Structure 1
Amino acid sequence: MSTLLFMVFVLFSLNAQTDFKEYQGKVIDGKTNKILEAASLSINNTNISTITNSEGYFTLKVPNNKLDSKVLVSFLGYNTYVVPLSELNTEKTIIELFEAVTELSAVNISSYQNAESLVRKVFSDKSVNVGDESVFMTAFYRETIKRRHRNVSLTEAVVNILKQPNSSKQRDAIQLGKARKSTDYKRLDTVSVKLQGGPFSTMYLDIMKYPEYIFTDESISSYNFSFNKPSTINNRTVFVVDFTPKGNQLALNYKGKLFIDVQSLALVSANYFLDVSNMSKTKNLLVKRKPSDVVVYPLEAIYKVDYKEKGDKWYYSYSNLSLTFKVNKKRQLFNKVYTLSSEMAVTDWEVNTTDKKIKNKDKLRPSIIITDAISGFSDPNFWGKYNLIEPDKSIESAINKIKKNIEKQKDKAKTANG
């Protein structure tokens, strides 16, 4: 079985647009005021969407010709909220979602007493639920590196994705659009950490397109599956299936949850993680290249993927991964702990009826290290009309500090040359 690993290198060494309206706000639990991370906001009857960040905040940019539309706000386990855009403030809108009470009918409960048979059916019958056509997507990608709890590197990009039909042997292609990065190399100290794959690392989490990374016909039998309490997404009931490995039959063990639509039996979402408890087994597992005197131990590896329904088909919508690892270097007193996170949100898409293509010269390589392909940071209006994931306050703070340092260095250089 192929492994769902995204290799880490450990090495030494536009103008603002006016044809849209921007809405900003926060999504919270209406009863507890808890922030809701990765809540989805979609414009009705379009493929335009965005998600909330880890602090519950969102920015949604809507074309002027769609301002009479409604926005649908949804989150797993909550009732979907629908509101006309005309009733939203452009700033500081607070949207409250309320937990849904979920019950399965006796028919649904008795249909699948065996959770494994349900999971097998989801993957064997995926052609019924997953569109088998070429799709052209616009997505926002973000990659961050933290040392302990401090942001030291940020890379952001708008990418075009050409998703090939599931029945096609052609590979999906990604084209880099707008991009920027900011890195505090002093905080990275003597070690630089890089994620191989860039946007591909998140796209490969689309397990309906790439099931070989976790569930194959053979590997499914190596897991225990069990039903958990059902939940709700977009006002529809979903089965919740827990999975854990049977002993140590697999080279790599994953644990997690699958959320399966009761009506269509489509996969709606998956949350899972890699078991890294056996340090001798996982030592250097995430590393492709490193110095001989360095040992890397993964401390955490978490994965998530979401899908959205359009018509009677489901499409890849969002994914993220978070890798935390400890870097040990001989003759150094303190170990370094890094967290590398990346996420990709599809913000618009269309069925590729016009046979759009991405030229070979514009295609990113699956082995790309995107931080090496991008240089510089731009003005606040850099993204223009593109939807993106609102940055966390900690990221904004890191960007501002780095930009100030860059300006200081420029001023010093001018003084020295003056």
Structure 2
Amino acid sequence: MKRIIILSIASMLSIASLLAAGGENDKAIAKNDTANYTEILGKIVDSKTAEPVIFATIVITETNIATVSNTDGEFILKIPKGKESGTISFLHLGYENTVINISELNGGKNFVKLRAAALPIDEVVIRSLSAEELILSALNKVKDNYSINPEMQTSFYRETIKQRKKYVSVSEAVMDIYKAPYRTTFDSDRIKIYKGRKSRDVKKMDTVMVKLQGGPRTSLMLDLVKNPGDVIGPEMMKYYHFKLNGITMIDNRETYVIKFDQLPNVEYPLYSGNIYIDVETEAFAGMNFGLSEVGLPYASEVLVKKKPSNLKIDIEKGHYLIRYRKGADAWYLNYVRSELALESKWKRKLFKSDYHIMLEMAVTDRDNENVTKIPMKESLKSNEVFTDKVTSFEDDNFWGDYNTIKPDESIEVAIKKLNKKVKRRQ
């Protein structure tokens, strides 16, 4: 009988990323028509190095319809009928924005090239505030910079588990989200599965089965502007060292970069990385950080929710990415990603097992007019396991006109292999 490890990423993150892009187009992209939408496919690369630009935002300009590029720099964006005359914007940290007419996109495997944004530091006026004061000022302006009204969001969620560098579980869903206002403590975000599927090779997973507890709920908790927790919460700042580390460009906007790490005498798993704050509005534009090496030895005790007593778990890495995007009237959560690497070993057994766990969620559409709070009984709970809630992969056209994150090539190969194994067992 398999033993089960339950990982509570939510408790791992009383905390938990950041997004953008820009550049030059090389008529990149393949275009496929269907009944209700046009499907745009492409790859985003650096204009000088030709390296893929990962986690870039791709958005139909002046709409709320968006997606992100994957770890190969590739993306799929579905254009609703009636919007083919518009443009697509490509945004990423440190790059110039690129805007391309949808009508200019033609067939074939082409590329969107992004140019690095030039920003001589001596041309930018850096305020006299310290890094800590800048963070506190940004927290005080949350009510001014983020939505004070509830809205409905559509998002695409994916979680994967690798064992010894091979995928053993891939699960994903289109999610409905009730996004509560940022300025209230009397209302909370709610999320439910609209449509989901999974592919998993349970027999492959040794004698240990790893499950993520509360994955979709965790993706909402990673909205650190709403849930400051262990990273930017005012009461936690005394446990960190902060440093203003210059200015970069995000979405053609000057953005402060604040570097941080936990203090060496703190015996608890905290974090290190970068916080990005918009210069003009002092809104949080994103965070990119991971478990600090200082606190890593204490991580297993906090992050592992449940395990057999004779099994040793070592957390080797945790990394988190949060990105926000400025809309016409406010800043909005755009993308979150969480990665966790761990090692397990049974007592009196010779070999160890390595696992890599990832979850990501991209907000692909927003609606602030037709807002209906998701009933509590339909909302996913923090103690529920997402893979237990969805069915197996079947139809290649499963997602229809919903925008998703294009799977990395390794995930696409894994899904095909896992599905073949499942069919052989049926």
The normalised TM-score by structure 1 is: 0.91
Match of 1:234 among 251, 260, 267: 251
CA contact (8 A) 1:207 1:213 kept: no
Q: Secondary structure at the match of 1:360?
A: coil
User: 1:89 Cα shift?
Assistant: 2.4
Distance in 1, Cα, partners of 2:137 & 2:40: 41
Structure-2 residue corresponding to 1:257: 274
Partner of 1:64: 81
In structure 2, what is the Cα distance between the partners aligned to 1:277 and 1:337?
22
Gaps of 5+ in 2: 1-9, 15-32
**Superimposed CA distance per residue, residues 374-403 of structure 1 (whole angstroms, 9 cap, x where no aligned partner):** 221121100000100101111111111122
The residue that corresponds to 2:261 in the other structure is: 244
Considering only aligned residues, what root-mean-square deviation do their CA atoms show, in Å? Answer: 2.0
What letter corresponds to residue 122 of structure 1 in structure 2? A
Residues 47-74 of structure 1 deviation map (CA, whole Å, 9 limit, x = unaligned): 0000100001100001011111100001
The answer as to 2:12 corresponding to 1:5 is yes
The structural deviation recorded for 1:409 is 2.9
Aligned to 2:303: 286
Change (3 A) 1:95 1:261: same
CA offsets, 1:142-161, max 9 Å, x none? 00000121111000000001
C-alpha deviations, 1:263-290, integer Å up to 9, x for none? 1111111011112556653344321111
Q: Does the Cα contact within 8 Å between 2:11 and 2:302 map onto a contact in 1?
A: no
The match for 1:340 among 354, 357, 369 is 357
Q: 1:255 aligns to what SS in structure 2? A: strand
Distance 2:294 2:391 in 1: 37
Matches within 5 A, 1:133-148: 133-148=149-164
Maintained 8 Å contact 1:297/1:327:
yes
Please state how far the C-alpha of 1:132 moved relative to its aligned partner.
1.1
Displacement, 1:174? 0.4
Offset, 1:360? 3.0
Opposite residue 112 of structure 1, the aligned amino acid is S
- The one-letter amino acid of 2:110's match is T
How does 1:1-150 map onto structure 2 within 5 Å? Answer: 5=12, 18-104=35-121, 108-109=125-126, 111-150=127-166
- Asked whether the equivalents of residues 24 and 91 of structure 1 are also in contact (C-alpha less than 8 Å), the reply is no
Q: Distance in 1 between matches of 2:87 and 2:297?
A: 53
Q: Distance in 2 between matches of 1:371 and 1:337?
A: 20
Question: Counterpart in 1 of 2:422?
Answer: 406
Instruction: Check if 1:365 corresponds to 2:381.
Output: yes
Distance in structure 1 (CA, Å) of the matches to 2:297 and 2:243: 29
- Percent identity of the aligned residues? 35
Residues 142 and 183, structure 2, Cα contact 8 Å, conserved in 1? no
Asked if residue 183 in structure 1 is aligned to residue 218 in structure 2, the reply is no
1:296 counterpart = 2:313: yes
1:105 and 1:188, CA in 2 relative to 1: closer, same or farther beyond 3 A? same
Superposed displacement of residue 181, structure 1 = 0.3
* Shift of residue 91, structure 1, vs aligned partner: 4.7
SS of the aligned residue for 2:367 comes to strand
Cα distance in 1, alignment partners of residues 266 and 301 from structure 2: 21
Report if aligned partners of 1:222, 1:250 keep a CA contact under 8 Å in 2: no
Structure 1 343/230 Cα, relative in aligned 2: closer, same or farther at 3 Å?
same
Tell me, in whole angstroms, the C-alpha distance in 2 between the residues paired with 1:103 and 1:242.
19
1:346 aligned partner, one-letter code = V
Task: Give matches, 1:347-358, under 5 Å.
Answer: 347-351=364-368, 353-358=369-374
Give the Cα separation in 2 of the matches to 1:362 and 1:278: 37
Structure 1 position 392 matched with structure 2 position 408: yes
Deviation of 1:30 (Å): 0.6
Aligned residues: 399
8 Å contact kept, 2:254–2:278 = yes
TM-score between the two structures when normalised by the length of structure 2 = 0.89
| Aligned match of 1:381 | 397
CA distance in 2, matches of 1:127, 1:330: 51
CA distance in 1, matches of 2:223, 2:123: 32
The correspondence of residues 316-327 of structure 1 with structure 2, limited to 5 A, is 316-327=333-344
